[in-house]
Structure 1
């Protein structure tokens, strides 16, 4: 039995779906974590830069407060030039001073990483906002360079210059923390996927094993046999399926019993009508014969003895016909008890075919002997009935040819009987195995139903293919039991 309807089994598909979902979840968590980590890192460096800006601004205010006059945009260069480098060293940061037009006037950078002339967009933003502006100017290797821009104000709160603090972040230790965190996430998800996969596989496999056993039982369910209900002690969704199947069995048994009872009653009614019809046929001429003999009876008739003998012979013939009818129906209604024995199928069929003209019968078989347990009389009846019908279907104007093939294949005995007769009319093919149905002018119509009953008793099948004016082929398939 093939239990897979797909390139992958259900447990494998469930595992693939689960792993896919977990991987997407892990990816989403890692992306969110990395984004959050980067935002936190950026915020961390901005906070450091803001603190440096506050410290530098306080130092610059101190320098301007110690100047004897008022700091202006014209003398700011002179005011800060002496203590400019000292402020940078104390705060461990580079300092760049621009005039209000954006021109660089002072710097502590030996190699400039800032603008020589500030872009107009920065100048415009400083006019509208006196707060610190943080921009991520560019990226140098793995470390980001931040720059803060703010207005330097004098005692009268006038803008006299622009302060720029370039700040180069050190990402090494933060990236190390991020990689450590991502590695921990990865290890945790790997463990979850491993144990989750194993758990899903075993649970799914156990569930499917039960379902497959239920499917096998359902597949074996038939209408006319005593099907046993499925026992399941669990209290889960599978129990609903099992209870539904057991309820179906009860309904199926009840309905099959009703159908079987109706079929038996209808069959006996049909049998009774058929017996009455078949018996009435010879009784009618017998009645007429006796009435005619009584009407013409004359004790002085010199031919009285001859007429009486002729009438008696006719009556005896009709009585024999009635007797044969009763015997035929008796054979069908009560077949001899089955007596299985180990026989050679080939030998029994060969003996059954001996009663037919050998020049018109072709018998082929493979292997030379097929030994199995079977009722010899039953097999003889099957072959004899079908072969006799085959010869009776062949018109006298045609050279008879009946071909019988027997072979053992795939643990089944295949029997094929082919004739070149007139074939079975299309309208009669659906009733060919129905008792009392016949396409011949004589006969009881119980030969083929008897054959089908025998084949059914051995769990076999019988079917036919027929073409009018060409012939008919019967195919018999019987399970082989050595």
Structure 2
């Protein structure tokens, strides 16, 4: 099936991109959430570790000054050796300041201590809160974050004797290392998920739109000329099943309406035909009756011309009877078309053969292709062409050379047969009645030829239209769908 061109995005593409967008947004949302969860967890672990390390360091310091009542001035002697042990055990530096913020001692060489005096703001904050104060900063030299923890050291009498500074160096490298490791696995997994999502969305959109396209094709094939409307067979219990049920219900109603309309049309047609038959039969009966009555009134057996008069009356009666028989034959042919025997024909060659019977007329055949194929019954085609050409021949003007053009065209999915003449044409007041069964603008005939032609064209899902200019000629165009 050829792909249908749509303006903008097709329904299938919209389903595909919507499904894929949802997958991508879900993956992006999961990635962002994972990033913030891991980062929050890392910060929480870092703070917990800082809390443990600071408490451990303070526990060692408290233990060192708990054996005696130590004052600020005694700290150098009491902690001179212990401070190195505390620093080694806890793996970080320990720096002590007095209550005025001046440097006392540290596990590091005094010359390496950059901060010899605590800032007044930090000092007042630590002494006022009497609990750990953390200050976040960044060390450009070591390229790492620094958490400076300040705590108050008390002696065994719970009297503040010093301020302890514990610098904790930490970086986000461990966090990023963990996140990168997680991200690598996450990317691999999501590439697989995206690939599966793309495949699944393509399959689902193709399946859905394929089903809808099938439904659309069946719906577009619904015509009043279709003999049998086929229901859709769909066995899935989903939303489309409601559409299928509605469609099947609709074609059932259409079928019932077609049968009802067909019955009404047939009844109307037979009524119209009965009136026409009665009218056409009554026309010759009247002169027959008058002829017999007149002959009976004037009959004289002694008349020497009696044999001649009987002969003339007999001929007149036979002529009127033949007319009644021709009327009956014409209406019999109109009432029932012959059974169709469709076959693929070369329209160009077939039309030429049909027009052989009009060899005495000026008929010219034109075609835009050398071999236009059409599947149709030859008898039907012959009767259509003969009726149209006969109508064109009968329409000629005595003082004008009659020219009839028969054009055969195949354009895209349609085949056109045009019969054009230069005769009298059809008055505008009559053109709407040209295909009515009992209408004729001529002195002879029952007015059934064009009606029969159109009826046969409609049998093949085609159409027959007429355009005309009075005193210039008429143009009849038969259109068939390509069915080969």
TM band (smaller chain):
0.7 to 0.9
Structure 1 match to 2:405: 403
Structure 1 match to 2:129: 129
Q: CA deviation at 1:462?
A: 3.0
- Runs of 5+ consecutive residues of structure 1 not aligned to the other structure: none
- CA RMSD in angstroms comes to 4.6
Q: Is the 8 A contact 2:417 2:479 kept in 1?
A: yes
Find the partner of 1:445 among 429, 444, 447: 447
Q: Is the 8 A contact 2:67 2:156 kept in 1?
A: no
Alpha-carbon separation, structure 1, partners of 2:441 and 2:131: 111
Structure 2 match to 1:49: 50
Structure 1 match to 2:253: 251
Query: TM-score normalized by structure 1?
Result: 0.76
C-alpha change, 1:267 and 1:475, in structure 2 (3 Å) is same
Q: Is the 8 A contact 2:152 2:164 kept in 1?
A: yes
Q: CA deviation at 1:268?
A: 0.7
Q: CA deviation at 1:474?
A: 2.8
Structure 2 match to 1:463: 464
Structure 2 match to 1:138: 138
Q: CA deviation at 1:350?
A: 3.1
Find the partner of 2:332 among 330, 333, 339: 330
Which shifted more, 365-374 or 169-178? 365-374
- 2:93 partner SS: coil
Alpha-carbon separation, structure 1, partners of 2:209 and 2:46: 57
Structure 2 match to 1:278: 280
Q: CA deviation at 1:22?
A: 2.6
Q: Is the 8 A contact 2:426 2:469 kept in 1?
A: yes
Structure 2 match to 1:183: 184
- Could you list the per-position Cα deviations for residues 50-90 of structure 1 after superposition, in whole angstroms to 9, with x for gaps in the alignment? 2222233334445655676643xxx5886788468524344
Q: CA deviation at 1:32?
A: 1.6
C-alpha change, 1:401 and 1:156, in structure 2 (3 Å) is farther
Q: How does 1:19-98 map to 2 (within 5 A)?
A: 19-62=20-63, 70-71=71-72, 75=73, 82=80, 86=84, 87-97=86-96
Q: Is the 8 A contact 1:403 1:418 kept in 2?
A: yes
Q: Is the 8 A contact 1:103 1:118 kept in 2?
A: no
Structure 1 match to 2:365: 363
Q: CA deviation at 1:481?
A: 7.8
Alpha-carbon separation, structure 1, partners of 2:453 and 2:53: 108
Alpha-carbon separation, structure 2, partners of 1:115 and 1:13: 69
- 1:444 partner SS: coil
Q: How does 1:44-443 map to 2 (within 5 A)?
A: 44-62=45-63, 70-71=71-72, 75=73, 82=80, 86=84, 87-97=86-96, 108=108, 118=119, 120=121, 122=122, 126=126, 129-138=129-138, 143-153=144-154, 162-199=163-200, 201-202=202-203, 205=206, 212-213=213-214, 215-223=216-224, 224-284=226-286, 293=294, 297=298, 318-336=320-338, 338=340, 345-353=347-355, 356=358, 360-365=362-367, 375-393=377-395, 400-407=402-409, 414-421=416-423, 424=426, 431-438=433-440, 440=442, 443=445
Which shifted more, 264-273 or 394-403? 394-403
Q: CA deviation at 1:174?
A: 4.2
Alpha-carbon separation, structure 2, partners of 1:123 and 1:452: 110
Alpha-carbon separation, structure 2, partners of 1:157 and 1:230: 92
Query: TM-score normalized by structure 2?
Result: 0.76
Q: Is the 8 A contact 1:460 1:476 kept in 2?
A: no
Q: CA deviation at 1:271?
A: 0.8
Which shifted more, 36-45 or 304-313? 304-313
